[in-house]
């Protein structure tokens, strides 16, 4: 296995991680921003108010995007296993 192949596999794996985690991170970011704006306008500085909605938003995004994320991961692993003889040889 050449160095270029390893670098290419690593890049593809990192890209897959970013694509799969993007819906959860994006929704958590949006909810965090909305909660921060709400806290700033109402002068409420409760720590759990910022934490709990983000957890709920990430959980809901896993429920919504879970099948898509699982399909992406399975397809990626199938491509890895199909091309395994090409990587080794």
Contacts of 19 (CB under 8 A, 6+ apart): 72
Whether the full predicted model's pTM is greater than 0.85, yes or no, is no
- Let me know: does 67 contact 29? Beta carbons within 8 Å: no
Residue 89 confidence (pLDDT) above 80: no
- Residue 78 lies in domain: 3-88
- How many domains, the chain? 1
- Integer angstrom CA distances of residue 63 from 15, 23, 32, 84: 22, 11, 19, 32
Residue 88's pLDDT is: 78
The per-residue pLDDT for range 42-79, each reduced to its tens digit, is: 888 887 888 899 999 999 999 999 999 999 999 999 99
Q: 48: burial class by Cβ within 10 Å (0-12, 13-18, 19+)?
A: exposed
């Amino acid at each position: 296995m050449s160095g270029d192949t390893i670098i290419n596999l690593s890049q593809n794996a990192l890209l897959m991680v970013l694509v799969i985690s993007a819906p959860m991170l994006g929704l958590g970011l949006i909810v965090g921003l909305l909660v921060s704006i709400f806290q700033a306008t109402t002068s409420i500085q409760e720590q759990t108010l910022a934490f709990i909605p983000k957890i709920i938003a990430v959980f809901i995004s896993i429920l919504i995007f879970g099948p898509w994320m699982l399909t992406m991961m399975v397809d990626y692993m199938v491509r890895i296993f199909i091309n395994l003889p090409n990587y080794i040889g």
